[in-house]
Amino acid sequence: MAELSPRSLDRSAVLAALYNGASPGGAESLGWLERQQDFDYLQGRCLKVDLSSETLDPWLYDRQYGEGAAGRVLAHLTAELRVGVDDPHGPDPPTSRG
């Protein structure tokens, strides 16, 4: 399995995306990266990732969640982050009712 290169992504966003990909649930803001960058389990979710370098070895994460799981999680995160980049005006503002 080839290493992934999430270097252009914010590490806290990568950690949150992998965490959320490990088990159903909503996005969480995690302050864990201030204390460590190598994760076996995080709040009961198996991650098995080391975010301390420019590359990410997905082998153990994929072993737990299926081949290509880490890559899919990072691809989804990259797509979410590009939504505002691809559209210089950003998302449509909410309409007010009243």
As a whole-number percent, the residues of the chain with pLDDT over 90 amount to 20
DSSP codes joined into one string, 25-91: -------GGGT-SEEEEETTEEEEEE-SSSSB--HHHHHHH-TTHHHHHHHHHHHHHHHHHHSTT-S
Task: Give the tens place of pLDDT for each residue, 51-80.
Answer: 888 889 999 999 999 999 999 999 998 888
Query: So what's the pLDDT on residue 1?
Result: 61
Looking at per-residue pLDDT, the higher value among 1 and 18 belongs to 18
What is the per-residue pLDDT for 2? 73
Mean pLDDT of 32-36: 72
